[in-house]
Structure 1
Amino acid sequence: MGHSNINLAALIGSRICHDLISPIGAINNGLELLGMAGGTPGPEIDLIQESVGNASARIRFFRIAFGAAGEQMMGRAEVTSILDDLMDGGRLDVAWGPLDPQPRGDVRMAFLALQCLENAMPYGGRIEVSNDDSSWLLHGQADKLNIDEPLWNILATRDAPADLRPAQVQFALLPIIAGDASRRIVTEMSDTQVKLRF
């Protein structure tokens, strides 16, 4: 896939996320108004609130991971808010190490890498994200990993199979975006740990 196609796909991703976040926010506002109207909220309201919160968190994450990156910086508070909301109640714990604002393009690659690690950790675990001046490291630890080697090979070869599923698109997209940024993906795995550097 050419660089221009990646940019077009990113713009489409940004547009979809932008258009979806408004009605989800409106639903959340409606739920707040219902709560202010009095009465005891039932389990159905709790379920709707939980679902709306989850959808909002995913859209915010996807907007960074699959949307157009731009040149702006992202502060730690914004990134950790997205990750905390996304992982709330899940099996994965993600620790975002960088304290300083980071370029949105780097955060985008980190989010895509995070999805790759998440794929390998279906039973839960902990992922630590760190960076220095020249590289990023995502270090996942879990009691049990599920490594799909053909998927992980895409990160090195940049050769995605034609039957790649939508849930696996991060494995095809990350090495292309990293290559455009003159970075190379390096992975290291053991029975309980998986590391991804770029």
Structure 2
Amino acid sequence: MTDTLARDIAAMIGSRICHDLISPVGAISNGVELLAMSGAAAGPEISLISESVENANARVRFFRIAFGMASPGQMTSRREMAGVFKGIATPRLTYRWEVPEDMPREEVKLACLMTMCVETALPRGGEIRIGRTGGQWSVCAQAERLAPAPDLWARLDALSPAEGLRPSEVQFLLAPMQAAALGRRIGHATGEGQLTLTA
């Protein structure tokens, strides 16, 4: 099986799973909203459910971009991405989408996979900024504590086999594949309280 075929199959599976999940998650969200409007339920319990559903909805949308199909010419809006990153943020981990224009979906897919790689280096949270300058992505993390795993970071330089990876680390396999599909390679640099991936 070629790398291209493997990547396409993985993307099709990702799209299918996210497509099937987005409707029931949306239905739960609508149900919570109706309960709140009717006054039938109120309080911290409903607020917790509402916040959890919003986060789940944003996370599914994020996964759909990161792991799903990206057709040639398909665009993703700046507004959509800003909303997705706002939705998946937590009190410990925040995101800033600093790309002012709409972008091709296949480019945004790479940025999302790179962001997932960076997330693994932030065990206590922090801030992740996603920007693009001169046709190059920059995903920069700032935190009091950074803990990039050397064996995982080494995988970003080139395509590698899946052996030794856990399911939670699949982005380290897919990000270099997506970068290669776009004719680029992922670089990384670390500094005092900062870590950056570029491609």
1:19 lines up with 2:20 in the alignment: yes
Per the alignment, residue 85 of structure 1 pairs with: 87
Q: Which moved more, 1:12-21 or 1:35-44?
A: 35-44
Q: Note the residue ranges of structure 2 that are not aligned, 5 or more in a row.
A: none
Letter paired with 2:87: D
Letter paired with 1:169: V
- TM-score, normalised by the number of residues in structure 1: 0.93
Q: Which moved more, 1:26-35 or 1:111-120?
A: 26-35
Structure 2 residue matching 1:146: 3-state secondary structure = coil
Letter paired with 1:68: M
CA distance in 2, matches of 1:77, 1:123: 28
Q: Contact 1:144–1:191 at 8 Å: present in 2 too? A: no
CA distance in 2, matches of 1:159, 1:191: 29
CA distance in 2, matches of 1:72, 1:130: 20
Q: Contact 1:74–1:103 at 8 Å: present in 2 too? A: yes
Q: Which moved more, 1:188-197 or 1:157-166?
A: 157-166
Per the alignment, residue 38 of structure 2 pairs with: 37
Q: Contact 1:14–1:66 at 8 Å: present in 2 too? A: yes
CA distance in 2, matches of 1:50, 1:56: 10
> Pairwise CA RMSD of aligned residues?
1.5
Q: Percent identity over the alignment?
A: 44
Alignment of 1:9-158 (within 5 A): 9-70=10-71, 71-87=73-89, 89-158=90-159
Q: Contact 1:69–1:104 at 8 Å: present in 2 too? A: yes
Letter paired with 1:101: D
CA distance in 1, matches of 2:123, 2:76: 28
Per the alignment, residue 173 of structure 2 pairs with: 172
> Which digits, 9 at most, give the CA deviation of each residue in 1:137-161, with x for residues without a partner?
1121111101100000000132245
Per the alignment, residue 6 of structure 1 pairs with: 7
Q: Contact 1:120–1:148 at 8 Å: present in 2 too? A: yes
CA distance in 1, matches of 2:168, 2:91: 18
CA distance in 2, matches of 1:128, 1:45: 31
Q: Contact 2:35–2:41 at 8 Å: present in 1 too? A: no
| Aligned-pair CA distance for 1:191 | 4.1
Q: Note the residue ranges of structure 1 that are not aligned, 5 or more in a row.
A: none
Q: Contact 2:29–2:50 at 8 Å: present in 1 too? A: yes
Structure 1 residue matching 2:100: 3-state secondary structure = coil
